[in-house]
Amino acid sequence: MNIFSPEAMIQLSLALPALAILLVLLTGRFPNVREACTLVVATILFLINCDLASYVFAGERPSWNLGQMMMPGFDIAFTVEPLGMLFALVASGLWVLTTVYAIGYMRGHHEKNQTRFFACFAAAIFAAMAAAFSANLFTLFVMYEVMTISTYPLVTHHGDEKAKRGGRVYLGILLSTSVAFFMFAIAWTWKISATLTFRQGGILSEAFSNGEVSELQLAILLGLFAFGIGKAALMPFHRWLPAAMVAPTPVSALLHAVAVVKVGVFSLLKVAIYIFGLDLINDTGAGEWLCYVAAATILLASLVAMTKDNLKARLAYSTISQLAYITLGAAIATPESALGGGMHIAMHAVGKITLFFCAGAIYVGAHKTDISQMKGLGRAMPFTFAAFLIAAISIIGLPPGGGSWSKWLLALGAAETGQTFLIATLMISSLLNIAYLIPIPIRAFMVPDGEEPQSFNEGPKMCVVPLCITAVGSVALFFYANSIYDCLLPIVQ
Amino acid sequence: MIEFLQYHLPVLLIVIPMIAAPLAVLIGNRRVVQLLSLAVCWTTFGLALWMVAIVNSSGPVSYELGGWAPPYGIEYRVDQLNSFIIMFVSGLGAIVLTYSPHSLNAEIPQSQHYLFYPMYLLCMTGLMGICVTGDLFNVFVFLEISSLSTYALISLGKTRRAPLAAFQYLIMGTIGATFLLIGIGLLYQLTGTLNMADIALQLENQRQINDGQWTGSRTLLVAFAFLTVGLCIKMAVFPLHTWLPNSYAYAPSVVTAFVAATATKVSVYAFIRVVFGIFTPRFAFELLPLDTALWSFSLIGIFMASIAAIFQQDVKRRLAYSSIAQVGYMLLGISMANIDGLSAGIVHMFNHALIKGGLFMVVGCFVLRLGSVHLDDWKGAGRTMPWTSLAWVLGGLGLIGVPVTCGFISKWLLLTAALDNDLYPVAILMLISSLLAVIYVWQVVEVLYFAQPSEKAKKATEAPLLMLVTTYVVVGANIVFGVWTTYSAGLAAKAAKALLEGGSL
């Protein structure tokens, strides 16, 4: 299938979502054409990414430099490495499914301004692709911000008072953390090492061994990155994620379970691996405090999730908790933990998008948003709730869900550094996950006393089919975890 | 012919609008005057572009007015820095004038139009003159030309507060100009010359003779104080900014767009010229603590003005306070007196001219259709005026400094410059202050898109095509120069380097 050179495929991966924006805007008047365009472009994008992946996972590192922006050293440049490739694959693959789902959802729900919706969606995917392939921190930051801005109209799609408040929290937290911390951290890194290019083994270790930065400064710098990348939703900067749930469900599904939040943790992993270097974090103990913060986020977010009756809110807090797993992987900074974090990006993405798809399907099919109203609904929507159960198992980290492997690797990493309390945290969190996820489908399949079982009434087909595919996918990942592990292995060697 | 034009290019930039101004009054016919002014503005812009090309290819150009050699005659001197500034000043002047007809019809009685155009041209003359001239007294003269015409332009405003605002500005502006004149007088007394390069040379010579001590240093200090304070008034540096909010708020929208995009930037240019070209950074920053003074006043100004902007319900006033804050960023860069900082300051002059010019043009569109600058009347206008509202969002993103807009370039350069100078507190405060811009821009966005439409907004229609197109040209330039920065940032860096190394370019 080698029609294009790897470099051309990078260009195409960036150009296609941009083309999708244009096509959507041009064909806005004809919804069928518009959606067909998105779908076709998304499919081509996924295929190209698959092709590109075959090169990258074989050890090639294709790169493309768009050119210098401002001073020398601040280039918009792209280099594909395995972690970014995995993220791009996940995002582009799920974009196809989400597009199908969104067509069902948006039409089933008679949403307004669908053209703007699909255009902004493509813009967000563009930013995700560019961030995934970014070759330096500068490019990553630019795309990170582009994503924040392009998703704002999606979060506030309904345009009412509630959307306004949600959007305010969303933009407020994401912009202020990125400007006050992330940008500062990048400029500081530039000052220390005079380069921003991601490099195997990190770019800060030299300055550290020359005594130009102290251990404390490194810890502070890591902190600026960890909190500055607000999309990683580390507490106390997590409020934007629940606030973003005012968005239509496809947005919550792809962006706030996959693209946006994963850009956050992906950036953090990339910073840990390619800017600091795992060895440096380990040797200086710069990540130690971050372990505590991540562990606290894991537990607290799970506890908050248990108190939420609104399904999307519960899923949002569950996401915060699961993202902290990946942050934890970066903070522990052993090869296993970093790989576990990287794999969890894919595992959690597929699992969580299924859960959100289910939430949306329940909303469109049965107009229910609260968990307490969903008793007995499983009889009416068997596919949806079965998918929910399967995905929940993966999120919890039980076999045969893909999430079990990434959590296993994280636990291994924690064991290696001898931080037993972290293993305990992971175990307790899994128990909490069971407590807040499993009862939902179980109760749905139980018929409440004295009520007739509801008749079969699934959501639109366009909604149900994608969620079944992703549910199957999260099981399939359990069996193919080994190959993902092998593909990612070069990043820690 | 071409050679003749090329030779006289520096003076043509000034002479053409200057001659056209009285001509316009004489003609008196509204339509003819309008066409004449448009032609003059675009010609000036074309000449400015030509000037830029010449300077880029063959270096600085020196022109002897009337054939009198400097330092006895008046020298016009165009180098990378001021060719850059005349380019964007004349460009914005031309495009704002193209944008103006509908807005003028709505805001200024037609009988006064023939007065508007000459004033506009004179203001342009003054601004171009300040940039092009190499003679310090000439700077004062052109500053007065541009200021006097600006007072007149502001007083054309619709409400009765406009003349009052113009008067307020007149008093402050005259004090500033007087200070400038006193400073120039003292320098003349010290050196016996008015040519800026020559003053710098004479000062340096006197210093050499005196074993590196500054001669007559008290006179020199007083001259420096008068010049800097005088220019600070014109730049609207906190706490000398009080004239600005009212002037911007009550002037006709077109005037606000033009003045906000150009006047303060040209004053900043004059300031750079005086501090770096005449007094040298050594004098200003090593002998005297101008850097500390500048960045402390800038930072206080940035915070005060940004916070004040958040509480303004009048959108023009909101942007006016934002302008005061943005001047603070320019001075912050200049105060660092290294290449990165100075180029950040210079590039922000350009970027902010685009951003603020664009945003005031957007305001003009809203004023035309809604007849109000009050936020309550703007409620829900995003539905009836989608393109105008989108332009606000794009311009606003530039003001905030989001990546891929030119505001980001300024902010980033400023940040790295601050870190290079180990000014960590300044860097942190600067970043935090830029978050205030998010608030004052986004409040308007929320009003436009999320509020229930006001009565006026319900009836509003999209702004006229001409206004929209011109607004989008400026707003689009925001984004173009946020992505393609080789020209703006590269040129600013070159100019900064020359200023720091050679004193005069």
The encoded tokens of residue A43 equal 């499919």
* Residues B106-111, mean pLDDT to the nearest whole number: 85
Task: Give the best residue of A75, A76, A183, A213 to mutate against chain B (max B CB count within 10 A).
Answer: A183
User: Contact B449/A156, CB-based, under 8 Å?
Assistant: yes
pLDDT value of residue A267: 92
pLDDT band at B214 (very low <50, low <70, confident <90, very high): low
Q: Which positions in chain B touch A188 (Cβ < 8 Å)?
A: 419
Residue pLDDT, tens place only, A70-92: 667 788 888 888 888 889 988 88
Q: Which residues contact B490 (CB under 8 A, 6 or more apart)?
A: none
Closest alpha carbon to B344 in B425, B275, B407: B407
CB burial of B95-121 (b: ≥16 within 10 Å; e: otherwise) equals bbbbbbbbbbeebbeeeebbbbbbbbb
pLDDT band at B494 (very low <50, low <70, confident <90, very high): confident
User: Contact A159/B420, CB-based, under 8 Å?
Assistant: no
Closest residue on chain B to A147 (Cα): B403
CA separation for the pair B94, B13 (Å, rounded): 13
Strands B75-78 and A63-68: unpaired
Main-chain dihedrals φ then ψ at residue B156, nearest 5 degrees: -75, -10
* Residues B15-30, mean pLDDT to the nearest whole number: 89
pLDDT value of residue B502: 63
CA separation for the pair A432, A413 (Å, rounded): 21
pLDDT value of residue A446: 80
SS3 content of chain A, % helix, strand, coil (to 5): 75, 5, 20
User: Contact B434/A179, CB-based, under 8 Å?
Assistant: yes
Task: Give the best residue of A184, A186, A196 to mutate against chain B (max B CB count within 10 A).
Answer: A184
Our CA dihedral for A313, A314, A320, A326, rounded to 10 degrees, sits at: -140
A69 vs A204: which has the higher pLDDT? A204
CB burial of B382-395 (b: ≥16 within 10 Å; e: otherwise) equals bebbebbbebbbbb
Residue A163 has pLDDT above 50, yes or no: yes
C-alpha gyration radius of chain B? 22
Lookup result for tokens 């064909």: A27
Closest alpha carbon to B121 in B93, B98, B140: B93
Closest residue on chain A to B344 (Cα): A70
Q: Looking at CA atoms only, how far is residue A223 from chain B in angstroms?
A: 15
Of B413, B432, B442, the CB nearest to A70: B413
Distances from the Cα of A190 to the Cα of A10, A204, B417, angstroms:
26, 10, 11
Q: Which positions in chain B touch A175 (Cβ < 8 Å)?
A: 400, 402, 435, 438
Residue A1 has pLDDT above 60, yes or no: no
| Interface of chain B toward chain A, CB-CB under 8 angstroms | 340, 397, 400-404, 409, 412-413, 415-416, 419-420, 427-428, 431-432, 434-435, 438, 442, 446, 449-450, 483, 485-486, 489, 493
Residue B215 has pLDDT above 60, yes or no: no
pLDDT value of residue B413: 87
Of A74, A146, A184, the CB nearest to B431: A184
Of B401, B403, B415, the CB nearest to A142: B403
Tell me the three-class secondary structure of B396-458, residue by residue: HHHHHCCCCCHHHHHHHHHHHHHHHCCCHHHHHHHHHHHHHHHHHHHHHHHHHHHCCCCHHHH
Q: Which positions in chain A touch B435 (Cβ < 8 Å)?
A: 175-176, 179-180
pLDDT value of residue B505: 39
Neighbouring CB atoms inside 10 A of A408's CB total 17
CA separation for the pair B48, B35 (Å, rounded): 20
Q: Looking at CA atoms only, how far is residue B389 from chain A in angstroms?
A: 13
* Residues A170-188, mean pLDDT to the nearest whole number: 89
User: Contact B419/A70, CB-based, under 8 Å?
Assistant: no
pLDDT value of residue A70: 65
Task: Give the best residue of B384, B387, B400, B402 to mutate against chain A (max A CB count within 10 A).
Answer: B402
A184 vs A32: which has the higher pLDDT? A184
Q: Looking at CA atoms only, how far is residue B398 from chain A in angstroms?
A: 12
Neighbour-count burial of A299, counting CB atoms closer than 10 A to its CB (0-12 exposed, 13-18 middle, 19+ buried)? middle
Q: What ipTM was assigned to the predicted interfaces of this complex? A: 0.84
Q: Which positions in chain B touch A187 (Cβ < 8 Å)?
A: 412, 415-416, 419, 427
CA separation for the pair A28, A191 (Å, rounded): 47
Q: Which positions in chain B touch A146 (Cβ < 8 Å)?
A: 403-404
Of all residues in chain A, what percent carry a pLDDT higher than 70?
A: 97
Q: Looking at CA atoms only, how far is residue A151 from chain B in angstroms?
A: 14
User: Contact B416/A190, CB-based, under 8 Å?
Assistant: yes
Main-chain dihedrals φ then ψ at residue B78, nearest 5 degrees: -115, 125
Check: CB of residue B89 under 8 Å from CB of residue B38.
Answer: no
Closest residue on chain A to B489 (Cα): A70
Q: Whole-number mean pLDDT of chain A?
A: 85
A225 vs A116: which has the higher pLDDT? A225
Neighbour-count burial of B209, counting CB atoms closer than 10 A to its CB (0-12 exposed, 13-18 middle, 19+ buried)? exposed
pTM of the model: 0.89
Task: Give the best residue of A112, A140, A149, A179 to mutate against chain B (max B CB count within 10 A).
Answer: A179
User: Contact A179/B435, CB-based, under 8 Å?
Assistant: yes
Can you state the angle between helices A335-366 and A260-270, rounded to 10 degrees? 180
pLDDT band at A452 (very low <50, low <70, confident <90, very high): low
Of all residues in chain B, what percent carry a pLDDT higher than 70?
A: 98
Residue A69 has pLDDT above 80, yes or no: no
Lookup result for tokens 């003609």: B27
pLDDT value of residue B216: 58
Q: Which positions in chain A touch B427 (Cβ < 8 Å)?
A: 184, 187
Closest alpha carbon to A228 in A277, A186, A276, A286: A186
pLDDT value of residue B503: 44
* Residues B327-341, mean pLDDT to the nearest whole number: 87
Task: Give the best residue of B338, B412, B478 to mutate against chain A (max A CB count within 10 A).
Answer: B412
Closest residue on chain B to A163 (Cα): B450
Distances from the Cα of A384 to the Cα of A247, A289, A361, A363, angstroms:
21, 41, 7, 11
pLDDT value of residue A2: 62
* Residues B164-188, mean pLDDT to the nearest whole number: 93
| Interface of chain A toward chain B, CB-CB under 8 angstroms | 68-71, 74, 141-142, 145-146, 149, 156, 159-161, 163-164, 167-168, 171-172, 175-176, 179-180, 183-184, 187-188, 190-191
Q: Which positions in chain A touch B442 (Cβ < 8 Å)?
A: 168, 171
Neighbour-count burial of B450, counting CB atoms closer than 10 A to its CB (0-12 exposed, 13-18 middle, 19+ buried)? buried
Q: Whole-number mean pLDDT of chain B?
A: 88
Check: CB of residue B248 under 8 Å from CB of residue B308.
Answer: no
Q: Which residues contact A146 (CB under 8 A, 6 or more apart)?
A: A123, A126, A127, A130, B403, B404
Neighbouring CB atoms inside 10 A of B59's CB total 11
Distances from the Cα of B178 to the Cα of A136, A211, B151, B185, B239, angstroms:
52, 55, 16, 10, 18
DSSP per-residue codes, A107-162? HHTT-S-HHHHHHHHHHHHHHHHHHHHBSBHHHHHHHHHHHHHHHHHHHTTT-SHH
Kindly report whether the peptide bond that precedes residue B101 is cis, defined as omega within 30 degrees of 0: no
pLDDT value of residue A204: 83
pLDDT value of residue A203: 85
Q: Looking at CA atoms only, how far is residue B471 from chain A in angstroms?
A: 21
Q: Which positions in chain B touch A120 (Cβ < 8 Å)?
A: none
pLDDT band at B185 (very low <50, low <70, confident <90, very high): very high
Distances from the Cα of B90 to the Cα of A388, B84, B114, B264, angstroms:
63, 10, 21, 14
pLDDT value of residue B504: 40
Of B409, B419, B450, the CB nearest to A188: B419
Q: Which positions in chain A touch B402 (Cβ < 8 Å)?
A: 145, 149, 175
Q: Looking at CA atoms only, how far is residue B426 from chain A in angstroms?
A: 12
pLDDT value of residue A96: 86
User: Contact A145/B402, CB-based, under 8 Å?
Assistant: yes
Q: Which positions in chain B touch A71 (Cβ < 8 Å)?
A: 340, 413, 416, 489, 493
User: Contact A187/B400, CB-based, under 8 Å?
Assistant: no
Q: Which positions in chain B touch A149 (Cβ < 8 Å)?
A: 397, 402
Of A146, A159, A167, the CB nearest to B403: A146
Least confident of A111-115, A162-166, A217-221, B132-136: A111-115
Residue pLDDT, tens place only, B357-405: 999 999 999 998 888 888 888 888 888 888 999 999 999 999 988 888 8
CA separation for the pair B243, A43 (Å, rounded): 59
* Residues A258-286, mean pLDDT to the nearest whole number: 87
Of A180, A183, A191, the CB nearest to B420: A191
